[in-house]
Protein backbone atom coordinates (compact mmCIF):
# COMPACT_ATOMS: atom_id res chain seq x y z
CA UNK A 1 0.00 0.00 0.00
CA UNK A 2 1.72 3.16 -1.21
CA UNK A 3 0.51 5.45 1.54
CA UNK A 4 2.67 6.93 4.24
CA UNK A 5 1.64 6.85 7.88
CA UNK A 6 2.45 7.59 11.47
CA UNK A 7 2.52 5.83 14.79
CA UNK A 8 1.22 7.21 18.07
CA UNK A 9 4.71 8.51 18.93
CA UNK A 10 4.77 10.56 15.73
CA UNK A 11 7.22 8.27 13.97
CA UNK A 12 6.77 8.24 10.19
CA UNK A 13 6.54 5.23 7.90
CA UNK A 14 7.13 5.47 4.15
CA UNK A 15 4.34 2.99 3.48
CA UNK A 16 2.14 0.38 5.13
CA UNK A 17 4.56 -2.44 4.24
CA UNK A 18 7.28 -0.77 6.30
CA UNK A 19 4.94 -0.43 9.28
CA UNK A 20 3.73 -4.04 9.03
CA UNK A 21 7.32 -5.27 8.69
CA UNK A 22 8.13 -3.55 11.95
CA UNK A 23 5.00 -4.80 13.68
CA UNK A 24 4.58 -8.35 12.44
CA UNK A 25 7.94 -9.05 10.83
CA UNK A 26 9.18 -10.66 7.64
CA UNK A 27 7.72 -13.91 6.36
CA UNK A 28 9.89 -16.25 8.42
CA UNK A 29 9.38 -14.70 11.84
CA UNK A 30 5.86 -13.58 11.05
CA UNK A 31 3.87 -16.17 12.96
CA UNK A 32 5.44 -15.37 16.31
CA UNK A 33 5.33 -11.59 15.95
CA UNK A 34 1.80 -11.71 14.63
CA UNK A 35 0.68 -13.77 17.62
CA UNK A 36 2.29 -11.14 19.82
CA UNK A 37 0.51 -8.30 17.96
CA UNK A 38 -2.87 -9.95 18.62
CA UNK A 39 -1.96 -10.88 22.20
CA UNK A 40 -1.08 -7.29 23.03
CA UNK A 41 -4.33 -6.03 21.50
CA UNK A 42 -6.35 -8.43 23.64
CA UNK A 43 -4.41 -7.69 26.81
CA UNK A 44 -5.03 -3.97 26.30
CA UNK A 45 -8.79 -4.61 26.31
CA UNK A 46 -8.53 -7.07 29.20
CA UNK A 47 -7.39 -4.10 31.30
CA UNK A 48 -10.40 -1.99 30.34
CA UNK A 49 -13.55 -1.75 32.44
CA UNK A 50 -16.61 -3.55 31.03
CA UNK A 51 -18.72 -0.42 30.60
CA UNK A 52 -19.92 1.85 27.77
CA UNK A 53 -17.25 4.36 28.74
CA UNK A 54 -14.63 1.60 28.69
CA UNK A 55 -15.39 0.24 25.21
CA UNK A 56 -15.65 3.79 23.86
CA UNK A 57 -12.18 4.71 25.10
CA UNK A 58 -13.52 7.15 27.69
CA UNK A 59 -16.00 8.78 25.28
CA UNK A 60 -19.18 7.21 26.65
CA UNK A 61 -21.06 10.38 25.70
CA UNK A 62 -20.70 9.40 22.03
CA UNK A 63 -23.01 6.42 22.53
CA UNK A 64 -26.26 8.18 21.80
CA UNK A 65 -25.20 10.04 18.66
CA UNK A 66 -23.41 6.93 17.40
CA UNK A 67 -26.53 4.78 17.81
CA UNK A 68 -28.82 7.43 16.26
CA UNK A 69 -26.58 7.78 13.21
CA UNK A 70 -26.30 4.02 12.81
CA UNK A 71 -30.03 3.56 13.17
CA UNK A 72 -30.81 5.99 10.35
CA UNK A 73 -28.27 4.23 8.14
CA UNK A 74 -29.59 0.77 9.00
CA UNK A 75 -33.21 1.77 8.38
CA UNK A 76 -32.29 3.07 4.95
CA UNK A 77 -30.43 -0.14 4.09
CA UNK A 78 -33.14 -2.43 5.39
CA UNK A 79 -35.89 -0.67 3.49
CA UNK A 80 -33.76 -0.78 0.31
CA UNK A 81 -32.75 -4.39 0.58
CA UNK A 82 -35.47 -6.06 2.60
CA UNK A 83 -38.63 -4.19 1.63
CA UNK A 84 -40.71 -7.13 2.84
CA UNK A 85 -39.06 -7.43 6.24
CA UNK A 86 -42.32 -6.80 8.00
CA UNK A 87 -43.80 -9.87 6.38
CA UNK A 88 -42.51 -12.29 8.94
CA UNK A 89 -39.01 -12.40 7.54
CA UNK A 90 -36.70 -13.81 10.20
CA UNK A 91 -33.69 -11.47 10.28
CA UNK A 92 -30.37 -12.45 11.86
CA UNK A 93 -27.34 -10.21 12.55
CA UNK A 94 -23.80 -10.74 13.76
CA UNK A 95 -22.21 -8.08 15.99
CA UNK A 96 -18.43 -8.36 15.47
CA UNK A 97 -16.03 -7.20 18.19
CA UNK A 98 -19.19 -6.55 20.19
CA UNK A 99 -17.48 -5.56 23.43
CA UNK A 100 -20.15 -5.47 26.14
CA UNK A 101 -22.94 -5.70 23.55
CA UNK A 102 -23.58 -1.94 23.37
CA UNK A 103 -24.65 -1.95 19.70
CA UNK A 104 -26.73 -5.10 20.01
CA UNK A 105 -28.56 -3.82 23.07
CA UNK A 106 -29.21 -0.29 21.81
CA UNK A 107 -29.82 -1.03 18.13
CA UNK A 108 -29.55 -4.47 16.54
CA UNK A 109 -31.86 -6.34 18.92
CA UNK A 110 -34.72 -4.03 17.93
CA UNK A 111 -34.36 -4.82 14.21
CA UNK A 112 -33.24 -8.45 14.15
CA UNK A 113 -35.00 -11.54 15.48
CA UNK A 114 -31.67 -13.02 16.45
CA UNK A 115 -28.29 -11.42 17.06
CA UNK A 116 -25.06 -13.35 17.56
CA UNK A 117 -22.15 -11.63 19.29
CA UNK A 118 -18.47 -12.22 18.66
CA UNK A 119 -15.95 -10.86 21.15
CA UNK A 120 -12.52 -12.26 22.10
CA UNK A 121 -12.29 -10.60 25.53
CA UNK A 122 -14.20 -12.79 27.97
CA UNK A 123 -15.07 -10.22 30.62
CA UNK A 124 -16.70 -8.07 27.93
CA UNK A 125 -18.64 -11.02 26.55
CA UNK A 126 -19.77 -12.02 30.06
CA UNK A 127 -21.11 -8.50 30.58
CA UNK A 128 -22.92 -8.73 27.22
CA UNK A 129 -24.45 -12.08 28.14
CA UNK A 130 -25.68 -10.66 31.42
CA UNK A 131 -27.18 -7.48 30.03
CA UNK A 132 -28.86 -9.30 27.14
CA UNK A 133 -30.31 -12.16 29.20
CA UNK A 134 -33.92 -12.76 28.15
CA UNK A 135 -36.45 -11.27 30.49
CA UNK A 136 -39.03 -13.61 32.00
CA UNK A 137 -42.02 -11.89 30.46
CA UNK A 138 -40.62 -12.22 26.92
CA UNK A 139 -42.52 -14.32 24.45
CA UNK A 140 -40.39 -17.15 23.02
CA UNK A 141 -40.32 -15.59 19.55
CA UNK A 142 -39.13 -12.21 20.79
CA UNK A 143 -35.96 -10.71 19.47
CA UNK A 144 -33.01 -12.22 21.26
CA UNK A 145 -29.25 -12.57 21.52
CA UNK A 146 -28.61 -16.18 20.54
CA UNK A 147 -24.92 -17.08 20.35
CA UNK A 148 -21.95 -15.58 22.17
CA UNK A 149 -18.70 -16.50 20.41
CA UNK A 150 -15.53 -15.82 22.38
CA UNK A 151 -13.12 -15.73 19.42
CA UNK A 152 -11.21 -13.04 17.54
CA UNK A 153 -12.26 -12.11 13.99
CA UNK A 154 -9.10 -13.56 12.45
CA UNK A 155 -10.07 -17.04 13.76
CA UNK A 156 -13.79 -16.91 13.00
CA UNK A 157 -15.72 -18.62 10.23
CA UNK A 158 -19.48 -18.12 10.30
CA UNK A 159 -22.13 -20.72 9.72
CA UNK A 160 -23.06 -20.77 6.02
CA UNK A 161 -25.93 -18.48 5.04
CA UNK A 162 -26.96 -17.49 8.59
CA UNK A 163 -26.76 -13.69 8.52
CA UNK A 164 -28.68 -10.87 6.88
CA UNK A 165 -26.28 -8.31 8.30
CA UNK A 166 -22.74 -8.63 9.64
CA UNK A 167 -21.99 -5.48 11.67
CA UNK A 168 -18.31 -4.62 12.19
CA UNK A 169 -17.72 -1.50 14.28
CA UNK A 170 -14.62 -0.12 15.94
CA UNK A 171 -12.65 -3.38 15.92
CA UNK A 172 -11.32 -4.04 12.38
CA UNK A 173 -8.24 -1.88 13.12
CA UNK A 174 -6.93 -4.76 15.20
CA UNK A 175 -6.60 -6.93 12.08
CA UNK A 176 -3.57 -7.00 9.82
CA UNK A 177 -4.29 -6.35 6.13
CA UNK A 178 -4.08 -10.04 5.21
CA UNK A 179 -6.37 -11.07 8.06
CA UNK A 180 -8.78 -8.25 7.16
CA UNK A 181 -9.05 -9.63 3.62
CA UNK A 182 -9.34 -13.26 4.66
CA UNK A 183 -11.93 -12.45 7.34
CA UNK A 184 -14.26 -10.77 4.83
CA UNK A 185 -13.72 -13.52 2.28
CA UNK A 186 -14.67 -16.20 4.84
CA UNK A 187 -17.50 -14.11 6.28
CA UNK A 188 -19.16 -13.76 2.85
CA UNK A 189 -20.30 -17.36 3.05
CA UNK A 190 -22.10 -16.45 6.28
CA UNK A 191 -24.35 -13.98 4.44
CA UNK A 192 -27.81 -14.88 3.20
CA UNK A 193 -28.59 -13.89 -0.40
CA UNK A 194 -29.06 -10.11 -0.31
CA UNK A 195 -27.23 -9.87 3.01
CA UNK A 196 -24.53 -7.27 3.58
CA UNK A 197 -21.71 -6.08 5.81
CA UNK A 198 -21.80 -2.80 7.67
CA UNK A 199 -18.38 -1.48 8.57
CA UNK A 200 -18.30 1.57 10.81
CA UNK A 201 -14.83 2.80 11.59
CA UNK A 202 -12.79 5.89 12.35
CA UNK A 203 -10.77 7.04 9.37
CA UNK A 204 -7.35 8.62 9.10
CA UNK A 205 -7.10 11.81 7.03
CA UNK A 206 -4.55 10.03 4.87
CA UNK A 207 -2.49 6.86 5.02
CA UNK A 208 -2.78 5.27 8.44
CA UNK A 209 -2.08 5.83 12.12
CA UNK A 210 -0.71 3.01 14.26
CA UNK A 211 -1.75 3.03 17.91
CA UNK A 212 1.05 1.35 19.80
CA UNK A 213 -0.95 1.15 23.00
CA UNK A 214 -3.81 -1.08 21.86
CA UNK A 215 -2.13 -2.51 18.73
CA UNK A 216 -4.56 -1.22 16.16
CA UNK A 217 -4.37 0.90 13.05
CA UNK A 218 -6.71 3.60 11.81
CA UNK A 219 -6.86 3.46 8.02
CA UNK A 220 -7.77 6.15 5.52
CA UNK A 221 -10.79 5.87 3.25
CA UNK A 222 -8.44 5.10 0.35
CA UNK A 223 -6.72 2.34 2.34
CA UNK A 224 -10.12 0.76 3.14
CA UNK A 225 -11.17 0.90 -0.50
CA UNK A 226 -7.99 -0.89 -1.56
CA UNK A 227 -8.69 -3.63 0.97
CA UNK A 228 -12.36 -3.96 -0.04
CA UNK A 229 -11.31 -4.55 -3.62
CA UNK A 230 -8.93 -7.30 -2.46
CA UNK A 231 -11.91 -8.83 -0.61
CA UNK A 232 -14.03 -8.80 -3.78
CA UNK A 233 -16.50 -6.44 -2.10
CA UNK A 234 -17.89 -3.19 -3.33
CA UNK A 235 -19.46 -0.31 -1.46
CA UNK A 236 -23.22 -0.18 -1.72
CA UNK A 237 -23.76 2.94 0.43
CA UNK A 238 -21.45 5.04 2.48
CA UNK A 239 -21.93 7.89 4.92
CA UNK A 240 -19.42 10.00 6.76
CA UNK A 241 -20.47 11.24 10.16
CA UNK A 242 -18.61 13.65 12.34
CA UNK A 243 -18.97 13.17 16.04
CA UNK A 244 -18.06 16.40 17.79
CA UNK A 245 -16.57 15.98 21.22
CA UNK A 246 -15.18 18.55 23.57
CA UNK A 247 -12.01 19.72 21.83
CA UNK A 248 -11.90 16.59 19.80
CA UNK A 249 -13.13 15.49 16.42
CA UNK A 250 -13.60 11.91 15.46
CA UNK A 251 -14.44 11.21 11.87
CA UNK A 252 -16.34 8.09 11.43
CA UNK A 253 -17.27 6.45 8.19
CA UNK A 254 -20.04 4.02 7.64
CA UNK A 255 -19.41 1.76 4.74
CA UNK A 256 -21.84 -0.80 3.70
CA UNK A 257 -20.29 -3.24 1.35
CA UNK A 258 -22.07 -5.91 -0.58
CA UNK A 259 -20.87 -8.71 -2.75
CA UNK A 260 -19.68 -8.01 -6.26
> Can you say which residues are annotated as belonging to the binding site for S-adenosyl-L-methionine?
97, 102, 153-154, 169
Neighbours of 215 (CB within 10 A): 20
Separation CA 38–CA 191 (nearest Å): 26
Is residue 92 a contact partner of residue 115, using CB atoms and an 8 Å limit? yes
Question: Residues 12, 217, 9, 41: is their CA dihedral positive or negative?
Answer: negative
Is residue 120 a contact partner of residue 142, using CB atoms and an 8 Å limit? no
Of 45 and 82, which has the nearer Cβ to ligand SAH? 45
Question: Which one of the spans 15-23, 25-33, 41-49, 228-236 is the region binding ligand SAH (CB under 6 A)?
Answer: 41-49
Question: Which one of the spans 28-36, 119-127, 205-213, 217-225 is the region binding ligand SAH (CB under 6 A)?
Answer: 119-127
37 near ligand SAH, judged by CB under 6 A: no
Of 156 and 236, which has the nearer Cβ to ligand SAH? 156
**Residue 99 CB, nearest distance to ligand SAH (Å)?**
3
Question: Residues 181, 210, 252, 123: is their CA dihedral positive or negative?
Answer: positive
Is residue 44 a contact partner of residue 214, using CB atoms and an 8 Å limit? yes
Separation CA 254–CA 145 (nearest Å): 24
Q: Which of 41, 158, 190, 207 binds ligand SAH (CB under 6 A)?
A: 41
**Sites for ligand SAH among residues 151-210 (CB under 6 A):** 152-154, 169-171, 174
Q: For 98-247, where are the alpha helices, taking DSSP H only?
A: 102-103, 109-111, 122-131, 177-188, 221-231
**Sites for ligand SAH among residues 50-79 (CB under 6 A):** 55
Q: What x-and-dash track marks residues 94-113 binding ligand SAH by CB under 6 A? A: ---xxx--xx----------
List interacting residues with ligand SAH (CB under 6 A).
38, 41-42, 45, 55, 97-99, 102-103, 119-121, 124, 152-154, 169-171, 174
Amino acid sequence: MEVSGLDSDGKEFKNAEEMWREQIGEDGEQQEKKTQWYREGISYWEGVEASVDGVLGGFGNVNEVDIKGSEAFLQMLLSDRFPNARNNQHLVALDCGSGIGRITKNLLIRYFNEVDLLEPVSHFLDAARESLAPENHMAPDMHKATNFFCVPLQDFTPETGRYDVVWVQWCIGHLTDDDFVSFFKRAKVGLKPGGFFVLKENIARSGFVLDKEDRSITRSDFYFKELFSRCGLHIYKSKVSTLTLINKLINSVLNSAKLL
